[in-house]
Chains A and B, each alone.
Chain A
């Protein structure tokens, strides 16, 4: 089954304790992205990756890191989490079309993070 998986689904942590949220897709998509969802703000893009070893900042990258060492995986790293990073996080992936445009974005199930 074609899907985007995220782990963990729920995480409660404390300020300053490094954490990683994993994201994996089995559709051989070139493009992957991380979003955070907060009430009244919709989804805001954190980072995205156009292919292996190619990443770029989205609209809210501060406090986050990403890496793309393999095509299928795109982990989100919080080196020193703070309470304002408490949010619902989504990973997404998409195929790049022959014309260089992006096809439908498929989203993972989400990771609810609480930073105390």
Chain B
């Protein structure tokens, strides 16, 4: 079955710097890759997603890139702000599957 690995487990950056979180997946049939942000005491919330027919997607300060050949995808946050501090999860799902497989999470701390 699908396996998703996420790195790093913790990431500390200075406010204004960029942050990059990377995930690799094992199932070549996976075609949907969402990223979730989880703030303390809340459920995960989708911040951006990408499908396998697209190599990159941007939404303001957030971007996701996908390399299907290497089976990895990354989240890029530019001009980080303290409110970006949270736990971020990547996930993968194959076409036609109802199972969303999550990475183990990255705790991002943005220092003021």
Contacts and interface: CB of A to CB of B under 8 A. Distances in A.
Interface of A: 4, 31, 33, 35, 40-45, 48, 50, 56, 58-59, 90, 92, 100-102, 104-110
Given A100-B96, A110-B42, A42 B105 contact: yes
Nearest to B95: A101
Interface of B: 1, 4, 6, 9, 32, 34, 36, 41-46, 49, 89, 93, 95-96, 98-105
A104 B46 contact: yes
B43 A42 contact: no
Q: Which of B34, B96, B98, B105 has the most CB of A within 10 A?
A: B98
Contacts of B43: 4, 90, 92, 107-110
Nearest to A110: B43
A48 B98 contact: yes
A48 B4 CA distance: 19
B98 A56 contact: yes
A59 B99 CA distance: 9
Nearest to B49: A104
Contacts of B36: 107
